[in-house]
Amino acid sequence: MDIETLKLIIHEQKDDVESRFRKENIIERDIEKLFDLNKTKQVLTITGIRRCGKSTLAHLFLKKYKYAYINFDDERIESIKISDMNKILEAFYQLYGNIDFIIFDEIQNVLKWELFITRLQQSKKIIITGSNSRLLSSELSTRLTGRHIDIILSPFSFREFLRFRGLNYDIYLTADIAKIKNYLNEYLIRGGFPEGDDKYHVKSIYDDIITKDILLRHNIKFRSVFKEFARLAVSSFSNEITYSNFKDILNVKSVHTIRNYLDVLEEVFLVFKLPKFSFKFKQQIREPKKLYVVDNGIIDMLGFKFRENIGRIYENTVFLELKRRQSLNNMTELFYYKTSQGHEVDFVVKRGVNVQHLIQVCYNIKDENVKKREIRSLIQSSKDLRCKSLIIITGDYEAEEEISWFGIERKIKFIPLWKWMLTDL
């Protein structure tokens, strides 16, 4: 490809970005505050599911600086090779003069891209984005050991969703609380994709992930079976799963195939596996996992009725928020837990060697039988895991209660979902 054609494409792409920033409602992302690219020489990688705002975040990071940008998810340059990358650099210089910052968007589309980035990062500050965790992390970890910072971006958190909706709020004002609760119902259904209020848009994201990011890229042989598997995986949100159960449901011959399929869904950030906590690492590997979906909008798009699944949707929402908080503190690990009597705690938050919080999610805590069950699980797990920070996230109940259970004294904090997501608990 000649340099003049590249210059045309680069110029048009940046013009499209600038036009979008003028016309669309672009909000700051919470993760922006954590990084100053002017103070680091490391390559910044931003990964995450399609259309969650990766390229927008990259531009927001560099809004104060002069920089160059190219998006490889463009059919005009889909055949570009590593040997053409110097031409792109030359096109940048001709268009912008000397530059210190460069954004390479969806760079995994260029075979052996990491060779070029390794050389270029000696003289430039670079942001790269991609929609596949393995493609970016494996190449970079090989070539740029210790010289890159990874950000995993998700669709909007509830804080960001309220910012996107233009709501300035005080969580201690009754009028604002009413507005927050109304927006929470919307967020629980439509999720946090920037354009997620259009169900057809969410469907197009899902279809692109399955077709472009998985079936075509991984050359999946039995495509109809994989599509059924993907729907089955999404339908299993907030539930414990086993590979053998999936194998039997889909009539697939090998558990290994199911494991590979699930790994691929994780690579493109569509689902996440949550391991069961055990003090023995081998036991963690063997135990069943729980499954969560990257955004409630996908759950809604696939036809799950909100009222019938509200408890599971609450749990999925809490997991996603914990996952976001984990991305801000890489010492945090997440698990679920079952006592020897089979009583389950939804989330174990571990930092370093200590279990910091045990969290239950219970929409209908006003049912006394349900409340007793949740308290029993928390207190028994608290004893097992030596953790005294016990939280139950509820639909609307808020309190702090001293509980005595068979001689064990514990304080449990009950907090509504909306408030938990807007505080730092």
On whether both 339 and 412 belong to a single domain, the answer is yes
pLDDT of residue 111: 85
Higher pLDDT, 352 or 394: 394
Cβ atoms within 10 Å, residue 32: 13
pLDDT of residue 4: 96
Residue 324 lies in a domain: no
On whether both 94 and 124 belong to a single domain, the answer is yes
Residue 42 lies in a domain: yes
DSSP letter for each residue of 188-239 = HHH-S-TTTTSHHHHHHHHHHIIIIIIIITTT-S-HHHHHHHHHHHHHTTTE
Q: What is the pLDDT of residues 86-143, one digit of tens each?
A: 999 999 999 999 998 999 998 888 888 888 988 898 889 999 998 877 665 555 666 6
CATH code for the domain in which residue 33 is found: 3.40.50.300
Last residue of a domain, which of 317, 342, 360? 317
Higher pLDDT, 404 or 181: 181
Flag the least confident range among 49-58, 76-85, 108-117: 108-117
| CA 321 – CA 154 distance, rounded (Å) | 10
On whether both 308 and 374 belong to a single domain, the answer is no
Grouping H, G, I as helix, E, B as strand and the rest as coil, residue 102 is: strand
On whether both 90 and 187 belong to a single domain, the answer is no
Last residue of a domain, which of 297, 317, 337? 317
Asked if residue 254 has pLDDT above 70, the reply is: yes
What would the mean pLDDT of 325-338 be, rounded to a whole number? Answer: 89
pLDDT of residue 134: 66
pLDDT of residue 141: 60
On whether both 251 and 301 belong to a single domain, the answer is yes
Domain span at 120: 3-153
CATH code for the domain in which residue 308 is found: 1.10.10
On whether both 116 and 188 belong to a single domain, the answer is no
Let me know how long the chain is.
425
Residue 290 lies in a domain: yes
pTM, rounded to two decimals: 0.94
Q: What is the pLDDT of residues 393-411, one digit of tens each?
A: 999 999 999 998 878 899 9
Give the number of domains in the chain. Answer: 3
| CA 379 – CA 400 distance, rounded (Å) | 15
Flag the least confident range among 30-44, 315-329, 330-344: 30-44
Asked if residue 40 has pLDDT above 90, the reply is: no
pLDDT of residue 143: 63
Asked if residue 76 has pLDDT above 60, the reply is: yes
| Position 285 confidence tier, pLDDT thresholds 50, 70, 90 | confident
* Mean pLDDT over the full length of the chain: 91
Q: What is the pLDDT of residues 353-375, one digit of tens each?
A: 899 999 999 999 989 999 999 99
pLDDT of residue 369: 93
Strands ordered across the beta sheet of 354-362: 332-338, 344-351, 354-362, 390-394, 408-416, 399-405
On whether both 228 and 333 belong to a single domain, the answer is no
Asked if residue 225 has pLDDT above 70, the reply is: yes
Q: How far apart are the first and last CA of the chain?
A: 53
pLDDT of residue 38: 76
Residue 260 lies in a domain: yes
151 contacts 44 by C-beta, under 8 angstroms: yes
Q: What does residue 131 show for φ and ψ, rounded to 5 degrees?
A: -105, 20
On whether both 256 and 387 belong to a single domain, the answer is no
| Position 145 confidence tier, pLDDT thresholds 50, 70, 90 | low
On whether both 147 and 219 belong to a single domain, the answer is no
| Position 425 confidence tier, pLDDT thresholds 50, 70, 90 | low
Residue 351 lies in a domain: yes
Residue 201 lies in a domain: yes
Residue 158 lies in a domain: no
pLDDT of residue 81: 92
| Position 232 confidence tier, pLDDT thresholds 50, 70, 90 | very high
Residue 39 lies in a domain: yes
On whether both 280 and 369 belong to a single domain, the answer is no
On whether both 186 and 287 belong to a single domain, the answer is yes
Q: Please give the structure tokens belonging to residue 22.
A: 């003028």
Last residue of a domain, which of 266, 296, 317? 317
pLDDT of residue 146: 57
Higher pLDDT, 262 or 36: 262
383 contacts 408 by C-beta, under 8 angstroms: yes
Asked if residue 250 has pLDDT above 90, the reply is: yes
DSSP letter for each residue of 126-174 = EEEEES-HHHHHHHHHHHSTTSEEEEEE-SPPHHHHHHHTT----TT-H
On whether both 242 and 311 belong to a single domain, the answer is yes
| CA 423 – CA 400 distance, rounded (Å) | 16
